[in-house]
Amino acid sequence: MPSMTTTRYLRLTAVLVTVLVLTGCGVAARFAGQPGPAAATSTVRVVDNGFEPADAEIAAGDTLTWTWQGDNDHNVVGDGFSSPVQRDGTFEHRFTTPGTYPYRCTLHGWMQGTVTVVAPDGAEA
Ligand SMILES: [Cu+2]
């Protein structure tokens, strides 16, 4: 029967449109809900006397580089990574596991920083 076929066609079209609209909204909501790419920090400056920025964020698998720019000796000591005491140069550490990694300069206890390692897709661990 033609009318039956038409009805089925219309219902199918309605379902398809609904699916497309919902899918589209979902995608749009995901983009709208995301704060955007985090300001990935791959370099932290070691100055007198602090770390800039003190709170760095990188993706798991990325390497963070500390660059000494002050006039005094400092080091970078955290759980699983430790630089020598040095006055210039750099120190690198590759973070593979998402999490929060506090560190400090053992010569100046108030020099503290944090590395937040997020999953590569941007999700917090
Ligand atoms: Cu220091």
Same domain, 54 and 3: no
CA 41 to ligand 1 center in whole angstroms: 21
Both 57 and 111 in one domain: the answer is yes
Kindly state whether residues 74 and 30 are assigned to the same domain.
no
How far, in Å, is the centroid of ligand 1 from the Cα of 85?
Answer: 8
The answer on 27 and 86 residing in a single domain is no
Tell me the mean pLDDT in the region 106-120.
96
Give the number of other CB atoms < 10 A from CB of residue 100.
13
Residue 110 has pLDDT above 50, yes or no: yes
**Per-residue confidence band for 120, with pLDDT thresholds at 50, 70 and 90:** confident
In a domain, 110, yes or no: yes
The count of structural domains within the chain is 2
Per-residue pLDDT tens digits for 44-72: 999 999 999 999 999 999 999 999 999 99
Same domain for 110 and 67: yes
> How far is the centre of ligand 1, averaged over its atoms, from the C-alpha of 46 (Å)?
8
DSSP secondary structure, 14-82, as one string: HHHHHHHHHHHHHHHHHHHHS--S-----EEEEETTEEESSEEEEETT-EEEEEE-SSS-B--EETTEE
- pLDDT surpassing 90 at residue 125: no
Tell me how far apart the alpha carbons of residues 12 and 47 are, in angstroms, rounded to a whole number: 65
Say if residue 17 is in the same domain as residue 48. no
In a domain, 124, yes or no: no
Residues of the chain with pLDDT > 90: what percent? 62
Establish if 90 belongs to a structural domain.
yes
